[in-house]
Amino acid sequence: MILAVLFANSVGNVLIERFNGVPAEERLHWRSFLVKLGAENLKGVKNEELLVACHKSVYIVYTMLGDVSIFLVGKDEYDELALAETMFIITAAVKDVCGKPPTERVFLDKYGRICLCLDEIVWNGLLENTDKDRIKRLIRMSFLDSLFYQIFNYLLLLLFDQTRINFL
Amino acid sequence: MAQPLVKKDDDHDDELDYSPFMGIEKGAVLQEARVFNDPQVDPRRCSQVITKLLYLLNQGESFTKVEATEVFFSVTKLFQSKDTGLRRMVYLIIKELSPSSDEVIIVTSSLMKDMNSKIDMYRANAIRVLCRIIDGSLLTQIERYLKQAIVDKNPVVSSAALVSGLHLLKSNPEIVKRWSNEVQEGIQSRSSLVQFHALALLQQIRQNDRLAVSKLVVSLTRGSVRSPLAQCLLIRYTSQVIRDMSNHGQSGERPFYEFLESCLRHKAEMVILEAARAITELDGVTSRELTPAITVLQLFLSSPRPVLRFAAVRTLNKVAMTHPMAVTNCNIDMESLISDQNRSIATLAITTLLKTGNESSVERLMKQITNFMSDIADEFKIVVVEAIRSLCVKFPLKYRSLMTFLSNILREEGGFEYKRAIVDSIVTIIRDIPDAKESGLLHLCEFIEDCEFTYLSAQILHFLGIEGPNTSDPSKYIRYIYNRVHLENATVRAAAVCTLAKFGFMVESLKPRIIVLLKRCIYDSDDEVRDRATLFLSVLGGDGTVDADKDSKDFLFGSLEVPLVNMETSLKNYEPSEEAFDINSVPKEVKSQPLAEKKAQGKKPTGLGAPQAAPASGIDGYEKLLSSIPEFAAFGKLFKSSSPVELTEAETEYAVNVVKHIFDSHVVFQYNCTNTIPEQLLERVNVIVDASEAEEFSEAASKALNSLPYDSSGQAFVAFEKPAGVPAVGKFSNTLTFVVKEVDPNTGEAEDDGVEDEYQLEDLEVVSADYMVKVVVSNFRNAWESMDEENEHVDEYGLGQRESLGEAVKAVIDLLGMQPCEGTETIPSNARSHTCLLSGVYIGNVKVLVRAQFGMDSSKDIAMKLTARADDLSVAEAIHEIVGSG
């Protein structure tokens, strides 16, 4: 089970958090633990370099992406290796949405899409989608649809114009 | 509650300052959500509002019931819009709002329509949302669509249905189990992701059917798995099958080992590590099997990726607990990890080295750790301190350097938990290694001179009171103790007064001087300190009134005899009255958790929180269970309960295992029965035991199980009487008898008439090892020397030809049922001789230690010299009888 996915900004404020199967009273403890872990270890770390820790019986994989730090907490089958895989997908998807490793502002600008990405990747503590391109397709439906729609309209117009010209 | 976003510095330019959620307020967003009700839906605007709602929820903001309902109903109106992007957001917000069961009804029809939409994204997401919000009755209505979705040609839809199945399995297992044909088809899918989810779900569905899981593993290990994730799952399931097979006594070549070994050459690092981990965790893994896995792990130790280094060192750390010799080849690589930037890796490397290091490398290791300790967090330091404690117990001769290290780190800065770990370690070392006592106590004395933790000061003072008076020069500790009376808070002062009194009582030469010191304490500002001083003066006879020498020892050194928890509860419940508090009214029994509760907890996935406390020993639960049955209540104290022995094959209709409970003059067999046939209800379940091959046993009582419905477990018991205190052995054949009643699958009701039937179970043996309880001894040498040489019995045995020395050692350990000490159950590969140290408590509560020396000649003939020492010579002789007859 992926117990937590947490995004925080450079000063440790939480941007997105998803807990699965964690009692509400333990969340605060974990939130502050993760933020502290990030503050202690993420300074000067290269983009997307994965750091790993274990605390009690759970594993934590965390990294820095632009101005945003990302933490994954898992237990049992979601050990450090499975979490690293999940992190790889999350960072790729976020970069895709933001076009580059995001600043805090870009991240907040694309907040809705990032939530959708996360929803595609981790659902209720289980890893679901791992294909970056498929995730991209799934969350950009509106854009693609409108693109197809525009192209379709343009072709119709061309056809109509051609018919009119021929008619004339 | 998450913290709000901080405001940036004013000198940043406006562009950077801007945040789309700056100044966001719940009330305002809820107002904005009214836009959902507009007759002309503006998709862009609505998406923005939903994003804001998501942001609020992600920040830990919660909506009241009314607010959530209002938003939910407004959101449902957005199903009118054809905009796909907005629809995607709607799905997400519905999941986040988690509507209650009475509200769900409003969206189910829209979602069911979307489930059959031509747009793949709609289908996939509608499935996910529905599965999140519906209950069992609605699930049966949409089951057909879900089955279709599993075999959908679009992998996204298929994955969504499969992952939903994984979630639904927890709440509606019966329904999801019906999907196995479709899931099986999913395993053959060309999409690697679908295959991964299908494999996970199919294993979950069939987890109770060992044969089916075994078949699944056999079919997949032939190489049809595509994604590395699925391959990792397969490795895990394979390990499970291997474990099940070994539990059921299948012998010969280890099955699937070749598959695991081949995975070590997989192209994905994740798979390689998983396979290496699986190999190291095999039961009774041999060094030959371990070698390729260790080689692979060693390579990962120098990987540039921290995750791989961590995974490798974590696995090696576990291996080091059981096979320290196998890991020694990696020591050089692990030493370089001590300076790893990732402190988790460094700590794991250190603790592994502490386990694998030999006596000669301790000093060098300590030097390296000293440099490392200053820059790691307390939680890592605690792990290191605990590892050093066990190292000290393992190599008692090295106590000096280890004690010096501990005393040095005790002086450095650190939190309470860390300091407590160090103090506990020093206390353990003092208790286990008599030579370390004096220097250890002095280190503790120096620590309390400048200790900021009241709890630790009081604990150390208490310990000083017990150990200090027995040292060569007790007077040197008095200064440290009396300083506490002047410099510390009332709690520590009171503890110091107690300790002084103990010194005064135990050391006659110090008594007059202690009385002088105690007299100074009777003017203390605190009541408790004054009271204690007055009391102890009276006990020591300092005030010339009482000299209760007989009782004072009990008073000062005697234990409370009741558990502190019970004492605390009784005192809290005591209401001040004429009647004095009676300590005899405090219950002496430590309350243990009922079995059922433990089981439930074990199944529930717990959160992140504190790791579950080690489960209370099973014997507590068994004792309670047996004492609650009137027939067995008079059997006295339970000596030992064996681990369950399976009496049926894995895939049979009725699963039965037995637990042997040993009492002084009785043996009780507890038959744990499980009914695995859905259409049957079993009643009057009993076990008929034939004890014709167990002459010393005669049946005393039995207790049948009244009813055993499908998928439930229950216990039947049979008790035998045997000569008191005698380790009688014998073989018992068992037949399960019961009345079968057919159950109507639709109504779930059983027919009135049943048919009597019986089922032959495997035979069961009571062996000598059943009369031995495994007991850990931290320092075998001390324990050995403290036993009387008179009660020693030595003999030599020829064990015949064996494949390896390890096989002979294991056979002797299993025969005696004793606890191997100090890792001596592990034998270096190719060793020609070995000494194994064993400890246990024999029936009648007689402590027994065994030193078994093995030697192997060139023709693989093994000889053993066995020396047994016990509190009672007859028990030492009994050990030899067991070996002689085995």
SS3 (DSSP) at B854: strand
Of the candidates A4, A108, A123, which has its C-beta nearest B19's C-beta?
Answer: A108
Residue A161's pLDDT is what? 59
B128 has a chain A CB within 8 A of its CB: yes
Three-state SS annotation for B178-208 = CCHHHHHHHHCCCCHHHHHHHHHHHHHHCCC
| Interface mutation vs chain A, best among B41, B608, B612, most A CBs within 10 Å | B608
CB contact under 8 A, A112 and B270: no
* Domain presence at residue A150: no
Q: How far is CA B851 from the centre of its chain?
A: 30
**Shortest CA gap B162–chain A (Å):** 9
CB contact under 8 A, B54 and A108: no
Q: How far is CA A101 from CA A115, B358, B763, in A?
A: 16, 48, 67
Q: For residue A123, what are its two tokens?
A: 């659902």
B707 in Cβ contact with B676 (< 8 Å): no
What span, in angstroms and rounded, lies between the C-alpha atoms of A112 and B86? Answer: 11
Residue A168's pLDDT is what? 46
B273 has a chain A CB within 8 A of its CB: yes
Of the candidates A13, A51, A73, which has its C-beta nearest B608's C-beta?
Answer: A73
**Shortest CA gap B306–chain A (Å):** 6
Of the candidates B85, B228, B342, which has its C-beta nearest A52's C-beta?
Answer: B342
Residue B544: which region, alpha, beta or left (left: phi > 0; alpha: psi -120 to 50)?
left
CB neighbour list of residue A15: distance below 8 Å, 6 or more residues apart? A7, A8, A9, A68, A104, A107, A108, A111, B58
Write out chain A residues lying below 8 Å of B268, CB-based.
Answer: none
Widest pairwise Cα distance in chain A? 81
Comparing CA positions, the residue from B723, B615, B731 lying closest to residue B669 is: B731
* Domain presence at residue A77: yes
Strand ranges in B649-729 using DSSP code E only, listed in sequence order: 654-662, 666-675, 680-693, 698-703, 705-708, 713-721
CB contact under 8 A, B88 and A124: no
End-to-end CA distance of chain B: 65
CB contact under 8 A, A40 and B377: yes
The CATH number given to whatever domain includes residue A85 is 3.30.450.60
Q: Residue B366: what residue type?
A: M
Q: For residue B611, what are its two tokens?
A: 């790791």
* Domain presence at residue A34: yes
CB contact under 8 A, B229 and A73: no
Give B793: exposed, middle or buried? Use CB within 10 Å, 0-12, 13-18, 19+. Answer: middle
What span, in angstroms and rounded, lies between the C-alpha atoms of B726 and B190? Answer: 65
CB contact under 8 A, A142 and B84: yes
**Shortest CA gap B268–chain A (Å):** 11
* Domain presence at residue A163: no
| Interface mutation vs chain B, best among A52, A61, A133, most B CBs within 10 Å | A52
Residue B545's pLDDT is what? 52
* Domain presence at residue A82: yes
Write out chain A residues lying below 8 Å of B85, CB-based.
Answer: 141-143, 145
B85 has a chain A CB within 8 A of its CB: yes
Residue B456's pLDDT is what? 92
Orientation of helix B437-449 relative to helix B416-432, angle to 10°: 160
Of the candidates A112, A130, A142, which has its C-beta nearest B51's C-beta?
Answer: A112
Q: How far is CA B501 from CA B171, B469, B521, B561, in A?
A: 63, 11, 12, 21
List beta partners, residue B646: B657
Closest-CA residue in chain B for A36?
B377
Three-state SS annotation for B331-349 = HHHHHHHCCCCCHHHHHHH
Q: For residue B313, what are its two tokens?
A: 């060192």
Of the candidates B21, B310, B609, which has its C-beta nearest A108's C-beta?
Answer: B21
Cα angle, residue A118 at apex, residues A116 and A120 outer, rounded to 5°: 70
State if pTM tops 0.80.
no
Residue B385's pLDDT is what? 87
CB contact under 8 A, A141 and B197: no
**Shortest CA gap A163–chain B (Å):** 31
Note the residue count of chain B: 886
Write out chain B residues lying below 8 Å of A17, CB-based.
Answer: 2, 58, 60
Cα angle, residue A119 at apex, residues A116 and A123 outer, rounded to 5°: 175
B840 in Cβ contact with B819 (< 8 Å): yes
Residue A59's pLDDT is what? 92
> b/e for B727-737, b at 16 or more Cβ within 10 A?
bbbbebbbebe
CB contact under 8 A, A52 and B55: no
* Domain presence at residue A139: no
What span, in angstroms and rounded, lies between the C-alpha atoms of B512 and B532? Answer: 18
Of the candidates B83, B306, B606, which has its C-beta nearest A50's C-beta?
Answer: B306
Residue B607's pLDDT is what? 32
Q: Which residues of chain B have pLDDT under 70?
A: 1-18, 247-253, 375, 542-562, 587-620, 651, 778-779, 828-830
What span, in angstroms and rounded, lies between the C-alpha atoms of B582 and B498? Answer: 23
Of the candidates A55, A81, A116, which has its C-beta nearest B270's C-beta?
Answer: A81
Of the candidates B19, B121, B273, which has its C-beta nearest A141's C-beta?
Answer: B121
Chain segment A138-148, per-residue pLDDT in tens:
766 444 444 45
Question: What pairing do the DSSP bridges indicate for beta strands B705-708 and B654-662?
Answer: unpaired
Q: Domain range spanning residue A102?
A: 2-130
Closest-CA residue in chain A for B18?
A105
Residue B279's pLDDT is what? 92
Q: How far is CA B223 from CA B180, B228, B266, B831, in A?
A: 21, 12, 11, 38
Closest-CA residue in chain B for A62?
B307
Q: Which residue shows structure tokens 């208790």?
A: B431
Residue A63's pLDDT is what? 94
Q: How many CB pairs under 8 A join A and B?
A: 156
Write out chain B residues lying below 8 Å of A26, CB-based.
Answer: 607-609
CB contact under 8 A, B229 and A130: yes
* Domain presence at residue A60: yes
Note the residue count of chain A: 168
**Range 587-606 of B in CB contact (< 8 A) with A:** 605-606
Q: For residue B835, what are its two tokens?
A: 């000494």
How many structural domains is chain A composed of?
1
Q: How far is CA B488 from the centre of its chain?
A: 40
Of the candidates A52, A105, A123, which has its C-beta nearest B306's C-beta?
Answer: A52
Q: How far is CA B350 from CA A16, B823, B852, in A?
A: 36, 19, 32
Closest-CA residue in chain A for B159?
A128
DSSP B119: S
B530 in Cβ contact with B521 (< 8 Å): yes
Kindly state the helix (H) or strand (E) to which residue B124 belongs, with its residue range.
Answer: helix B120-133
Write out chain B residues lying below 8 Å of A1, CB-based.
Answer: 605
Chain segment A55-64, per-residue pLDDT in tens:
777 899 999 9
* Domain presence at residue A166: no
SS3 (DSSP) at B458: helix
Closest-CA residue in chain B for A84?
B307
Widest pairwise Cα distance in chain B? 100
B116 in Cβ contact with B79 (< 8 Å): no
SS3 (DSSP) at B326: helix
B94 in Cβ contact with B127 (< 8 Å): no
Q: DSSP H helical segments within B488-586, as ranges?
A: 490-506, 511-521, 527-540, 549-557, 564-573
Of the candidates B2, B55, B83, which has its C-beta nearest A142's C-beta?
Answer: B83
Write out chain B residues lying below 8 Å of A142, CB-based.
Answer: 43, 83-86, 88
**Shortest CA gap B207–chain A (Å):** 15
